[in-house]
Structure 1
Amino acid sequence: MSLLSPRMQELLNKQLNQELRNAYLYLSMSAYFDDLGLKGFAHYFKVQAKEEVGHAMKIYEFIYDAGGKVILSEVPQPKTSWGSISEAIEDFYVAEVDNTKRFYELMDAAREEGNKVVESFLKWFI
């Protein structure tokens, strides 16, 4: 028996896949900064990529623990170069703001459904 409605399972899978897309983007940013010889920036974005993979795995495990099914989608190739350092940082900021918005939308959906299990899980991210 699943603790997830079909809608909630779909939304959690979308978020899991978004975390992986962000990990690809941040790893690409790390490579970009490595190419520029900016090792500090490269390290920072490598750490961010690992964090996103960790988030994806946390969602993956939750879906299965809740009796759901994980559905992975294709991860498109991320952007690989930027016109400036500030452009790359802006893209990172936009991705993080979007990701935060997605978690709030997930929380809203869990509350609409009255799914306290999902709501409790999402508090870790928010």
Structure 2
Amino acid sequence: MATFSELLGAQIKNEFAASQQYAAVAVWFARQDLPQLARYFYRQSLEERNHAMMMVQYMLDRDIPVTIPGIGEVRNDFAVATEPIALALAQEKQVTADIEALFTAARSEGNPIGEQFMLWFLKEQVEEVASMTTLLNVAERAGQNLFDLENYVAREQIGDGGNDAAAPQAAGGAL
């Protein structure tokens, strides 16, 4: 079984991969002339990058060796607007499972500081999954009328936009 530190190092890669995937989704929406969705996913990309850098800072603060990993390919092509949103929801659900595993590892190792650090991410994932679920539901209801979806994104605040005063510090500062 992997240690908390090993899982955290792997999660840094996952967060950077999520950031890149959200950037690809944002570009796809921008190419579809859907600026509200593009802006939302550009912001999500930065939020995931910041999550990775929060984990980097934690490892630095705890004197745990950390490396910045490369990531694999991301998906860039989609047929309809619901596809990238469904991909994002699946990604958020996987991240939730990964964060839960990190919390469990910290607890099983008797690492209360690691456990406490992961609590913020658990709370964050509840918001991320709920927001992406709602966005997918609205996209499915909008069907081919993507202006309704654009209006929804423009009108509603989806998630906290990465603005949480209780968030851990990101290495180099949050963007």
Name the TM tier (shorter chain). over 0.9
Partner of 1:43: 39
Structure-to-structure mapping, 1:1-126, within 5 angstroms: 7-126=3-122
Unaligned runs of 5+ in 2: 123-175
Q: Which residue of 2 aligns with 1:3?
A: none
Question: In the TM superposition, what whole-angstrom CA distance separates every residue of 1:43-102 from its partner, at most 9, and x where no partner exists?
Answer: 000010000011000000001111101122221121111111111110000000000111
What root-mean-square deviation, in Å, do the aligned CA atoms of Structure 1 and Structure 2 show? 1.1
**How many residues matched?**
121
4+ aligned runs moved over 3 Å, structure 1: none
Q: Which runs of 5+ in 1 are unaligned?
A: 1-5
- Alpha-carbon separation, structure 1, partners of 2:32 and 2:118: 37
% identical aligned pairs: 28
TM-score, normalising length: structure 2: 0.67
Q: For the residues of structure 2 that align with 1:71 and 1:14, how far apart are their CA atoms?
A: 10
Q: TM-score, normalization: structure 1?
A: 0.92
Residue 64 of structure 1 aligns to which amino acid in structure 2?
A: L
Question: 1:124 Cα shift?
Answer: 1.1
Q: Secondary structure at the match of 1:125?
A: helix
Shift of 1:121: 0.7
- Please give the secondary structure, in 1, of the residue aligned with 2:67: coil
